């Protein structure tokens, strides 16, 4: 199972996009998308290889916040605190 991670599109060149995530930039394939992607858009990227869907900025922020919460739980040894 692979997680998809929200990434911001920096540049689009045909069927490829340069995206940014957590300070890193890398290229991903856009071949699986039916929608047009432009710089500034957010996309869900799987395995740092290809985009799965286009996200709204709110959806991207929500997912990134959830991943941050999960990271905090892992850092505490897997115990969720309310």
> Is 38 domain-assigned?
yes
> Is 36 domain-assigned?
yes
Integer Cα distance of 6 and 16 in angstroms? 16
Residue 26 buriedness (CB in 10 A; 0-12 / 13-18 / 19+): middle
Start-to-end Cα distance in the chain: 28
pTM, entire model: 0.79
> Is 69 domain-assigned?
yes
What is the extent of the structural domain holding 17?
A: 4-75
Q: 3-58 pLDDT, tens per residue?
A: 789 999 999 999 999 999 989 999 999 999 999 999 999 999 998 788 999 999 99
> What's 48's domain CATH number?
2.30.30.140
- Structural contact between residues 57 and 70, judged by C-beta atoms closer than 8 angstroms: no
In what helix (H) or strand (E) does residue 50 lie, and over which residues does it extend?
Answer: strand 50-55
All residues at 6 or more sequence positions from 40 whose CB lies less than 8 Å from its CB, including other chains:
8, 9
Q: How many domains does the chain have?
A: 1
């Amino acid at each position: 199972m692979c997680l998809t991670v929200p990434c911001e599109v920096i540049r689009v060149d045909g069927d490829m996009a340069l995206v940014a995530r957590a300070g890193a930039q890398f290229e991903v394939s856009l071949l699986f998308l039916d929608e047009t992607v432009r710089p500034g858009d957010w996309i869900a990227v799987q395995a740092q290889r290809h985009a799965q869907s286009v996200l709204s900025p709110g959806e991207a922020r929500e997912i990134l916040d959830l991943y941050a919460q999960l990271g905090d739980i892992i850092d505490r040894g897997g115990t969720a605190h309310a």
